[in-house]
Amino acid sequence: MLKGRRILIGVSGGIAAYKVCEVVSSLAKAGADVKVIVTDAAGEFVTPLTFATLSRHPAFTDKDFWQANNGRPLHIQLGEWAEVFVIAPLTANTLAKLAGGFADNLLTNTVLASNCPILLAPAMNTDMWEQPAVAGNWREVLTYRRYHAANPGAGMLACDRAGVGRMAEPGEILAHIESLLHTKGDRDLAGKRVLISAGGTREHLDPVRFIGNPSSGKMGIALAQAALHRGATVTLVHSITGELALSGVRTIALTSAEEMRQEMLQCFPDADLTVMAAAVADVKPTDYHSQKLPKRSLPNSLPLTPVADILAELGKLKQPHQKIIGFAAQTGDIVKPALEKLRSKKLDVIVANPIDKIGAGFGSDTNQAILINAAGKQVEIAPCSKLEMAHRLFDFVMEG
């Protein structure tokens, strides 16, 4: 998704500029064509030479802007060249300039000379971020369709203050860049409420032993990112272990299939689009022991009880305005069982997922699939990143 794509990074003056080094380096390593504009203030934190080295291109400063150029004006060239423009960190000062349409340096002139989507990643002290003037400027710029938000997170800031104002992590920014390259800034899910399940459930025998599966939840996370970047209001019901960096997404953590069932049934009536990407257990131990069983007490055979079929329940509850997407993780012939699941559970789309292929299925960063809708239309998706797969799936759903 990134190879050969033209990405312009504008760095304004804040300590979070150091994080942008990882963004630039990752893009360049992925084969993207990356150019960087460094404001005078940003150069006090990270030198233009650093960004030039990481991007494999000269880094541009105001000295380049104001000097004579043999070609067309630099800000015009850069603005026309970029497919996606990222400003990170976005300071309160630069935000105010964008809100007012000011152009007093190379960065802000290039903004006005460009027409591509612009991703904004604010970073500042909490008190600064919460100032009414700054909040008003932020609301103002986001009314313009060109601007997209990588919202700041909460945490310990460089000023030793704990609060909101921490720049989005590099991984979030990279994912949003990939999304904008795919959608070209279109928000075709704006106004839609998207419900997604992710991860593999765990059915415990005792506090330390469980029946589970290798699902990492990466596909569900990618779906949540893609839906959010396309303008949806997103709820992610998940059994993913570890910290989730998904600012802007409502997340509900749980462990078992029954817990997931309860949360999905509660959230489902408000959803326009539901994607059941979780790998939910089919059975659970019949008996649960609240204390860890000694090894000598483990049963030679384990009685199992079926768990409720969440997807089938949702299919019965589906209203005319709602759509449900299911996943069928299969080995061997993936189409026949996927079609049976699509019909029996009253789904609108099924993703037939070959988990026995290299680079697909559980735990991988890539995926491949055959998408099938209720009308019988099939589209094969070659191996790609899970974020690209998510976007291809939403494209398929929106096309009908």
206-221 pLDDT per residue, tens: 999 999 998 999 999 9
Query: What is the rounded average pLDDT of the residues 240-265?
Result: 89
Alpha-carbon distance 8 to 266, whole Å? 43
CA distances from 32 to 3, 8, 251, 344 (A): 5, 10, 32, 44
SS3 178: helix
Say whether both 352 and 220 belong to one domain: yes
Query: What is the distance between the alpha carbons of residues 165 and 176, in angstroms, rounded to a whole number?
Result: 18
Give the range of the structural domain holding residue 59, as residue numbers without chain letter: 6-183
- Which of 157, 183, 209 finishes a domain? 183
Which CATH number goes with the domain that contains 365? 3.40.50.10300
CA distance 148 to 302: 52
Same-domain status, 219 and 143: no
Are residues 172 and 200 located together in one domain of the fold? Answer: no
Do 164 and 248 lie in one domain? The reply is no
Residues 6+ apart with CB under 8 A from 299: none
- Radius of gyration in angstroms for the set of CA atoms belonging to the chain, rounded to a whole number: 24
267 is a catalytic site residue: no
Q: How many residues does the chain have?
A: 400
Same domain, 150 and 244: no
Do both 160 and 206 map to the same domain? no
Q: How many CA atoms lie within 13 A of 119 on its CB side?
A: 33
* Active-site residue, from 116, 159, 267, 384: 159
Is residue 241 classed as helix, strand or coil in its secondary structure?
coil
Residues 275-306: tens digit of each pLDDT: 999 999 999 999 999 999 999 999 899 999 99
Predicted confidence (pLDDT) per residue in 60-98, tens digit: 999 999 876 667 899 999 999 999 999 999 999 999 999
Which alpha helices (H) appear in the chain, and where do they start and end?
17-29, 48-55, 62-66, 74-81, 92-100, 106-112, 126-129, 132-141, 170-183, 218-229, 257-267, 310-317, 335-344, 386-399
Report how far residue 117's alpha carbon sits from residue 187's, in angstroms, rounded to the nearest whole number.
Answer: 11
pLDDT of residue 167: 94
Task: Band the pLDDT of 161: cuts 50, 70, 90.
Answer: confident
Does 64 reside within a domain? yes
Angle between helices 48-55 and 17-29 (to 10 degrees): 20
Who's near 142: CB < 8 A, 6+ residues apart? 149
Q: Classify residue 1: in a domain, yes or no.
A: no
Residue 244: what pLDDT?
Answer: 72
**336 and 216 housed in the same domain:** yes
154 forms beta bridges with 164
Same domain, 112 and 15: yes
- Residue 84 and residue 89: Cα distance in Å, rounded? 16
CATH number reported for the structural domain that contains residue 58 in this entry = 3.40.50.1950
CB atoms closer than 10 angstroms to residue 130: 13
- Given this model, what pLDDT does residue 72 score? 83
Q: How far apart are CA 230 and CA 143, in angstroms?
A: 15
Number of domains in the chain: 2
